[in-house]
Amino acid sequence: MAIKKVGVVGCGIMGGGIAQVCAQSGYHVTVSEINDDLLNKGLKVIKGNLAKSVEKGKLSKEEEAAIVGRLRGTTKVEDFGDCDLVIEAATENMNLKKKIFGDLDKVCAPNAVMGTNTSCLCVTEVAMATKRPDKVIGTHFFNPVPIMKLLEIVTTIVSSEESLNTVKVFGQSLGKVIVIAKDTPAFIANRIAVPMFIEAMKVYEAGLATKEDIDNAMVHGYNHPMGPLALADLVGLDTLLYVYESMYAEFKDPRWAPPLLLKRMVTAGQLGRKSGKGFYDYTKK
């Protein structure tokens, strides 16, 4: 099935980025939020990103206007009724995602495909909240979406080959590099990266090295573009904690247990860049 109109549930960091990339790729996009304030905030960020691209000469004013013209904001789930593909980009909370998919199932066209932008949760469980589990696929974008090339597509034991191919072609049209993963905890990229994040936090927690030296070791020793602690701040420490807890619950393996320091930081509201403080202090920059 050819995708012409895309819906995005959530206009935060991930949802806004997904909506922007889709609109830039020529799709008409309906993006939603739970209230007008959050919706306007998210749309403002998208427009700000496009304006910066114009300033840098990456977009013309005409292209910017065309992209904005393809974006439509809403607070009503009914407005996804004419979308060919709807991508959910809500908080990593299974109950919330299941509710969203149950609501979408009632309003979306019978042939519409649904994607969940989860980074760790069971896609099969999300799919079973609908009456069309064969049309539910994991669509794991990476942050920041307009810059990061990877799209991890997650297929379940009930996903149809048609749904997988539809999302694969769609992802390629966004200019993404596609990898296909089975529906196992954390899929491919995070399953490999999570142990590094956890070990970096444990090294810092034990006082074996400074955060700067830990990050510099990975940046200059392994050519990573960003150190694990700085990257954790970018992703969001609350998000990572939820990922680790979900993986530990699935595997019951101590190596996936979240470090105590991470739990304390999240409890204290130190969530990384989005709160102004995590492993690093962003209020002074």
- pLDDT for 184-237, tens place per residue? 988 999 889 888 999 999 999 999 999 999 999 999 999 999 999 999 999 899
- List all residues 6 or more positions away from 245 whose beta carbon is below 8 Å from its beta carbon: 258
Give Dmax over CA atoms of the chain in angstroms: 56
Residue 277's SS3 state is strand
Residue pLDDT, tens place only, 85-103: 999 999 888 999 999 999 9
In this structure, are 69 and 133 located in the same domain? yes
Our answer to whether residue 33 is catalytic in this structure is no
- List all residues 6 or more positions away from 285 whose beta carbon is below 8 Å from its beta carbon: none
Our answer to whether residue 111 is catalytic in this structure is no
In this structure, are 47 and 166 located in the same domain? yes
Core vs surface per residue 8-32: b (16+ CB within 10 A) or e: bbbbbbbbbbbbbbbbbbebbbbbb
pLDDT greater than 80 at residue 285: no
In DSSP terms, 87 is beta-bridged to: 8, 115
Our answer to whether residue 60 is catalytic in this structure is no
In this structure, are 111 and 173 located in the same domain? yes
Our answer to whether residue 28 is catalytic in this structure is no
In this structure, are 168 and 209 located in the same domain? no
Q: Do the beta carbons of residue 260 and residue 185 sit within 8 Å?
A: no
Residue in 32, 117, 190, 246 annotated catalytic = 190
Residue in 32, 92, 140, 159 annotated catalytic = 140
State the residue range of the domain holding 235: 194-267
Residue in 33, 117, 152, 275 annotated catalytic = 152
Sheet holding 28-32, edge to edge: 71-74, 28-32, 5-9, 85-88, 113-116, 136-141, 150-155, 177-182
> In the chain, pLDDT over 90 holds for what percent of residues?
87
In this structure, are 20 and 121 located in the same domain? yes
